[in-house]
Structure formats: structure tokens, C-alpha cells
Amino acid sequence: MPILQKIYEPSSIIWLQFKKHDLALKTDKDGNPVMLFIGKAGPEGRIKGKRFVRTLKKDAAGRIIKDHWELKGKST
């Protein structure tokens, strides 16, 4: 998904909508999305759905050598 490959504002939460789903992305200090909540947002803004965590491994030069998203379970 191209939304997950973009660089966003560092150390923040980005609220997006993709088709009929609400998304919340948490970014690291470099602006890479590292946590994704996908589902339906409730009245208080919490997303009920699924939570994914991203593993990024970089080499000594700072290039990404491993990029993996893993399902961590339900988000409430």
C-alpha cells in the first residue's frame, strides 16, 4: 500500500481514510510509519479493528534492509 511507504511528520500520529476504513499511523523519529491501526473510529476517536507493527532494520549506512509488517491483534 503506497500510504505505508511515504515519509510523514516525525514522532506523530497521522489520521487517514482508505476506502471505507479509518487509519491511524504512528511514526518514528525519521517519519516512517511503524504502527498502524485500521478499522472504524468511534466517537472518542479510538479505532476498533486491527493493529499492525512494522519492523525496520537498517545497515550501517542507514539504508533499510528489512521491512516487515506484523499483525499484533485487535485494537480497541
Structural domains of the chain, count: 1
pTM, rounded to two decimals: 0.86
**CA atoms of 43 and 58, how far apart (whole Å):** 38
The residue among 68 and 75 whose pLDDT is bigger is 68
User: Would you say 56 and 32 are in contact if contact means Cβ atoms under 8 Å apart?
Assistant: yes
The average pLDDT across 8-16 equals 95
Domain housing 60: 2-75
